[in-house]
Amino acid sequence: MSDNIFKRILVGVDDSEDSLLALKYAIHTAKEDKSELYIVSILESNDMNVFQVLDKDYIHGEREQLEEHILKFKNLAEKAGVEKVFAVVDEGEPGETIVKKIIPNVHPDLLVVGSEARKGISKHFGSQAAYMAKYADISVMIFR
């Protein structure tokens, strides 16, 4: 039996203070335990107005910006000494997308997220973190 409890860690990031704390923890833990680290960010289409959603160039540009941004987090983890780091970007409602799509594809042992979102109505209610804690079939750590 290995001392490494979490072999694959998934961390959700969105630039909120809480998610940056979650990222720091995930990087530290992945480095110490020699775990794989998956950094995920979700493009929230519900934060766009109807004209932005219909404009494929706008959505493509937003996604490209998000992909570039998450690569900075990936590079940060690599510089910190994490050997296996992967960046994942998807679209949809963050909690639901992570639980129903990302987790089944990545098969992590641990999900690490911040308690408050960067924007949207979920910022005030922490509904995304609560959803993931309730419905994820893996261990979930929530940072505040």
Per-residue pLDDT, 58: 45
Give the model confidence (pLDDT) of 38-65 as tens digits: 999 998 765 544 444 444 444 445 678 8
CATH homologous superfamily of 27-143: HUPs (3.40.50.620)
**pLDDT above 90 as % of the chain:** 62
CA distances from 112 to 60, 62, 63, 71, 93 (A): 27, 24, 22, 18, 17
Give the model confidence (pLDDT) of 59-93 as tens digits: 445 678 888 999 999 999 999 999 999 999 998 88
Per-residue pLDDT, 4: 61
Per-residue pLDDT, 46: 56
- Residue with the two structure tokens 């107005």: 49
Q: What are phi and psi of 40, to 5 degrees?
A: -120, 140
Q: Can you tell me the distance from the alpha carbon of 13 to that of 79, in angstroms, rounded to the nearest whole number?
A: 18
Per-residue pLDDT, 101: 97
Higher-scoring residue by pLDDT: 59, 105: 105
- Residue with the two structure tokens 């987090």: 73
Q: Can you tell me the distance from the alpha carbon of 50 to that of 12, in angstroms, rounded to the nearest whole number?
A: 26
Per-residue pLDDT, 111: 98
